[in-house]
Amino acid sequence: MVALDTGSDLFWLPCQWRLHAAATAASGSTTLYLPGMSSTSKAVPCSSSFCDLQKECSTASQCPYKMVYVSAGTSSSGFLVEDVLHLSTENAHPQILKAQIILGCGETQTGSFLDAAAPNGLFGLGINEVSVPSILAQKGLTSNSFSMCFGRDGIGRISFGDQGSSDQEDTPLDINQQHPTYAITINGVTIGNNPTDLDFIAIFDTGTSFTYLADPAYSYITQSFHAQVQANRHAADSRIPFEFCYDLSSGEAKIPTPDIMLRTASGSLFPVIDPGQVISIQEHEYVYCLAIVKSMKLNIIGQNFMTGLRVVFDWERKILGWKKFNCYDTDSSNPLSINSRNSPGFSSSTPENYSPQETRNPAGVSQLRPLNSSSPVTLSDSLLLMFILVQLAIMF
């Protein structure tokens, strides 16, 4: 079970390089990747172009890595490994693709990774050359694009090489050459029937559970939303990071809320299907919160704003695409596109016997963001957060 993170690049798994210590380490709940038991595993040497920490290489000449995230001293460190990722083609006659990729053998994890965040690792989907989408594109296996479908209960689907469909909406990515991310320009916001011009750049980051907005976007959206809600506002609660929460009566699943639409630079409208989060205050007492946290600087569109959509992260064409989609329908007749190299897309999705209840609200999941980007407010450890999880198999 790995967290899918478009805000970082490296795919890493909790790992034990030395076999003699594996029995002790495996006594916990974490599933370990054991390179020594994989016939296809190879250590990445310090001379590799993928090795960013060449100055820290030891005499063993095996490339180390360290990923540091902003959430409560959260980090992963170990060594880089090359191994085989097995993917299935999306067509009438599925075939298995064996792709050589780079991943981190995470020998040491700290912070939120010791709780429930990314229980068996983190799948970096960023733009750097070490990410899986970039490697698949470099090898000519797929276009440098992928789609993710976000179900309401955290169950979804990821398709490598998918560039979307002709009926999707899209907008150009806003390219920062020094720190490239999946960011777009937003020119306006509509809350209910109230449109307004509002210019800001927002990063689409699946590794952040909720959405972070800085002023003026934060104040306009939250206050306009509140002005149109006919419900009793819940008193400020230090356990909840959201400013606008409303009491739910017995048996009430949510409250009537105004629609939120983001107008992008292309003129296309990005719909926020459900911007809220239901939180249990105590037994039989719940509140519905507008799940937006105030940021000091950056604007981050988190996983909650992508729910109910298939979002296409297309670095090859430098666009972000989206379409309302039934994430539970895996019928092959769905309009999943063929990538630009005329080869089928490759996918990984949750198995048929997987229970949505198991990931509906995993406890203790925190925000995962690399230090070289933003530092959003850390959410309370006691808050139950939703996180996108997918089961992947590294087969030996």
* DSSP β-ladder status, 211-213 and 292-294: parallel
Question: Where in 151-232 does DSSP place strands (E)?
Answer: 156-160, 169-172, 183-191, 194-204, 211-213
The pLDDT of residue 114: 65
The answer, yes or no, to whether residue 320 has pLDDT greater than 80, is yes
Domain 2-166+309-390 CATH assignment equals 2.40.70.10: yes
Mean pLDDT computed over every residue of the chain: 78
Position 377 pLDDT exceeds 50: no
Closest by alpha carbon to 348, among 62, 157, 149?
157
pLDDT in tens, 182-202: 999 999 999 998 999 999 999
pLDDT of 54 above 80: no
> From the CB of residue 251, how many other CB atoms can be counted at a distance below 10 Å?
5
Q: Greater confidence, 392 or 85?
A: 85
pLDDT band at residue 360 using 50, 70 and 90 as cut-offs: very low
Residue (of 124, 34, 198, 195) closest to 373 by Cα position: 124
Of 331, 334, 271, 254, the closest CA to residue 307 belongs to: 271
Q: Is 5 a catalytic residue?
A: yes
Domain ranges of the chain: 2-166+309-390, 169-303
Question: Between 3.30.1380.10, 3.20.20.140, 2.40.70.10, 3.30.1360.170, what CATH number should domain 169-303 receive?
Answer: 2.40.70.10
CA distance 375 to 316: 28
Q: What is the pLDDT of residue 259?
A: 95
90 burial (CB, 10 Å; 0-12 / 13-18 / 19+) is: buried
Q: What is the pLDDT of residue 309?
A: 93
Work out the average pLDDT over 340-361. 37
C-alpha dihedral over 365, 370, 371, 374, to 10 degrees? -80
Q: Among 15-19, 62-66, 206-210, which stretch is predicted with the lowest mean pLDDT?
A: 15-19
> How confident is the model at residue 328, as a pLDDT?
73
pLDDT tens-digit map of 57-79: 775 678 999 988 766 678 888 99
Asked if domains 2-166+309-390 and 169-303 share a fold, the reply is: yes
Which one has a higher pLDDT value, 18 or 382? 18
**264: CB partners within 8 A, 6+ apart:** 171, 184, 185, 186, 187, 270
Q: Is the pLDDT score of 370 beyond 50?
A: no
What are residue 52's phi and psi, to 5 degrees? -85, -20
State what percent of residues in the chain have pLDDT above 90. Answer: 48
Judged by DSSP in three states, 237 sits in coil
Q: Which residue is catalytic, options 5, 9, 162, 174? A: 5
Return the structure tokens found at 144: 């440098």
Active-site residue, from 9, 170, 174, 205: 205
The per-residue pLDDT for range 249-308, each reduced to its tens digit, is: 877 777 899 999 999 999 999 999 989 999 988 878 899 999 999 999 899 999 999 999
- pLDDT at residue 335 tops 60: no
Is the per-residue pLDDT at 24 higher than 60?
no
Task: Give pTM, 2 decimals.
Answer: 0.81
pLDDT digits (tens, 9 = 90+) for 115-170: 655 568 899 999 999 999 999 999 999 999 999 988 877 677 899 999 999 999 99
